[in-house]
Amino acid sequence: MEKYKDWYVLDEMPEGWVIDKTAGSPYPSSVFITNGKSPLNGQKRAILKVDSNYTEKAYNSIPKPTVKENLTVQDDYVSPAKDVNELARKKFQEQLLQEIRFDLMVCKLEGWDKSEYIKQLQTLLNSFKF
C-alpha cells in the first residue's frame, strides 16, 4: 500500500468512507477521504486517487451561498452595533462621573471650593463645539 507523508493512498474508497470536502489534498489528482467520524472520536483519513474530472465534479458540487434580494429592515429592528455603542457610552459616562466624584472628594479633603471646580467643568464643556 502506497503512502504519502502520513496518509495511505488508496485506489478505491473503502465502504462507509466519505469524501472530505473541507480540506484539499496535497497529492496530485486526489481527494481526502475519512471514515465519517469526528477527529475527537477516532477519525481516520486517507487519500483517494481520482481522475481530474472527478475532482472538479466533487468540489463544484459544494452548494454556493445564495443572496436574497429585497431584504427589508423592520422598523423595530435594533442593530447590535447600536447596542454596543450605547453600552460604550454608558460605561464612559459612569467612568466620567466616578472621576468627577473623586475630584469633588479631593476638593473637600483639601479645603478647596467645590463651586470653583464645577465652574471650571462648565467652562470646559461649553468650549466644545458640537
Q: Which residues of 24-35 are buried (b: 16+ CB within 10 A; e: fewer)?
A: ebebeebbbbbe
Q: What is residue 68's predicted lDDT score, i.e. its pLDDT?
A: 58
Listed in sequence order, the residues at least 6 apart from 4 whose beta carbon sits closer than 8 Å to its beta carbon are: 26, 27, 47
Distances in Å between the Cα of 12 and the Cα atoms of 38, 114, 125 are 22, 86, 77
Range scoring the smallest mean pLDDT among 19-23, 115-119, 120-124: 19-23
Of 21, 28, 75, nearest in space to 51 by CA:
28
For 73-106, what is each residue's pLDDT tens digit?
Answer: 555 665 677 777 888 888 889 998 899 889 888 8
Angle ∠(21,33,62) on CA atoms, nearest 5: 20
